[in-house]
């Protein structure tokens, strides 16, 4: 099972390395989406500081969901998905591996890029640290839930928009705890409660989402 896992992650990373521009698209979307908010609501620094955690988190959520359809779509198109599913006992490993590679390619870069946007919104240093920490804890949840959405909507025309509609409501707890952690720190309070809850959501999702996603893949390919 570990062999399948490593193989799938390695393959996804190598494929992404070959198409670097495609791999960078989620980050580009992240930057553009975040920049829209000051343009939409005005440049007043105090207000921007207040909305920063929410804006960054929502942009991360949407960026993750938009890029997750490619998770399985490419493999479905060239037939390798069916081959991968034939590996005995490998379905959960594949699903977990896909979530990990998505996180490595989208979630982790977003968390690394976040400080730049924290500065742009004039977040305090503690706030920026909290932003990165909450994104590191929360983006894996997004990758796991996104994987479920991608498996459910495999091969459908409506693709990414449908996926966003069905999965984003389920990601609301992560959004609340993640953005809330940053807001708490920025207001000088402790974010420990938020982190604990976000961690709990991560564990819960980490255990159940791969099972559900594997079932969704079976439903989609039978």
CA-based nearest residue to 107, from 162, 145, 73, 78: 145
What is the distance between the alpha carbons of residues 107 and 110, in angstroms, rounded to a whole number?
5
Give least dist CB 205 to another protein, A: 10
Helices (H), 69-158: 70-77, 80-86, 91-102, 108-120, 125-152
User: Which residue in 177, 182, 186, 195 binds another protein (CB under 8 A)?
Assistant: 177
Tokens of 139: 């983006």
CA-based nearest residue to 151, from 211, 87, 90, 89: 211
Supply the Cα-derived Rg of the chain in whole angstroms.
Answer: 18
Task: Compute CA 152 distance to the chain's CA centroid, rounded to the nearest angstrom.
Answer: 17
Tokens of 47: 């207000």
Residues numbered 90-119 forming contacts with another protein, rule: CB under 8 A: none
Give least dist CB 31 to another protein, A: 27
Stretch that binds another protein, among 7-15, 61-69, 101-109, 200-208 (CB under 8 A): 200-208
**How many residues interact with another protein (rule CB under 8 A)?**
30
User: Which residue in 119, 156, 203, 207 binds another protein (CB under 8 A)?
Assistant: 156
Smaller CB separation from another protein, 46 or 158: 158
Tokens of 214: 């594997």
Give least dist CB 217 to another protein, A: 11
What is the distance between the alpha carbons of residues 82 and 61, in angstroms, rounded to a whole number?
29
**Residue 222, interface with another protein (CB under 8 A)?**
yes
Smaller CB separation from another protein, 13 or 212: 212
What is the distance between the alpha carbons of residues 178 and 6, in angstroms, rounded to a whole number?
29
**Residue 173, interface with another protein (CB under 8 A)?**
yes
**Residue 153, interface with another protein (CB under 8 A)?**
yes
Give least dist CB 171 to another protein, A: 9
Smaller CB separation from another protein, 142 or 148: 148
**Residue 169, interface with another protein (CB under 8 A)?**
yes
Counting beta carbons within 10 angstroms of the beta carbon of residue 60, is it exposed (0 to 12), middle (13 to 18) or buried (19 or more)?
Answer: buried
Binding site for another protein (CB under 8 A): 148, 152-153, 156-158, 162, 165-170, 172-173, 176-177, 180, 183-184, 197, 201, 204, 208, 212, 215-216, 219-220, 222
């Amino acid at each position: 099972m570990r062999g399948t896992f490593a193989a799938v992650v390695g393959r996804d990373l190598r494929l992404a390395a070959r198409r670097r521009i495609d791999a960078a698209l989620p980050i580009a979307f992240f930057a553009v989406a975040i920049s829209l908010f000051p343009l939409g609501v005005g440049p007043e620094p105090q207000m921007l500081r207040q909305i920063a955690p929410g804006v960054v988190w929502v942009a991360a959520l949407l960026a993750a969901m938009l890029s997750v359809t490619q998770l399985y779509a490419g493999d479905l198109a060239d037939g390798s998905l069916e081959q991968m599913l034939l590996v005995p006992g490998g379905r959960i490993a594949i699903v977990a591996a896909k979530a990990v590679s998505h996180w490595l390619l989208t979630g982790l870069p977003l968390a690394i890029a976040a400080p730049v946007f924290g500065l742009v919104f004039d977040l305090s240093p503690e706030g920026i640290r909290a932003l990165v920490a909450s994104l590191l804890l929360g983006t894996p949840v997004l990758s796991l839930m996104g994987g479920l959405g991608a498996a459910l909507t495999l091969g459908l025309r409506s693709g990414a928009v449908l996926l966003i509609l069905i999965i984003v409501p389920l990601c609301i707890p992560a959004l609340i705890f993640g953005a809330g952690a940053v807001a708490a720190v920025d207001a000088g309070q402790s974010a420990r409660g938020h982190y604990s809850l976000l961690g709990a959501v991560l564990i819960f999702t980490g255990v159940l989402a791969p099972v559900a996603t594997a079932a969704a893949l079976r439903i989609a390919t039978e």
